[in-house]
Amino acid sequence: MSILVVLTTGKEAFVRANAIMQMTLMIRKTSGQPVEFLALGPGVEVFRSNQKNSPQFGQMLEQMKEAGITLAVCEMSLENLGLTRDQMFEANIVRGGVEVAQRIQEGYTVLTF
């Protein structure tokens, strides 16, 4: 079973976002299943490399990547928030809605926060 974790929580709830990222990491480490992490809407804020919480999120994103979790951010969400690739930690830039629909078709379990 493959899992897609969708984060829509942004800077209004960084503690919650951090907990979701830690949960995603633990799912990967304990289940051994393929796990993908997609940030949509305000969720893309956790990928910003130029904010107060950046060191904490950067470290967590690196741990997730090292564990084999695919990281992605929604292109439209970046545009809507006025963010550019050079302001972000490394991640795949995707069309979020298309990505979610495709994973559902592929039989992924989708967890949304």
- Chain segment 30-44, per-residue pLDDT in tens: 999 999 999 999 999
In this prediction, residue 11 has a pLDDT band, given cuts at 50, 70 and 90, of: confident
pTM recorded for the entire structure: 0.95
* Pairing between β-strand 35-39 and β-strand 70-74 as defined by DSSP bridges: parallel
Instruction: Give φ, ψ of 36 to 5 degrees.
Output: -120, 150
> In this predicted structure, what is the pLDDT of residue 17?
93
Instruction: Give φ, ψ of 51 to 5 degrees.
Output: -140, 170
Instruction: Return the percentage of the chain with pLDDT > 90, whole number.
Output: 88
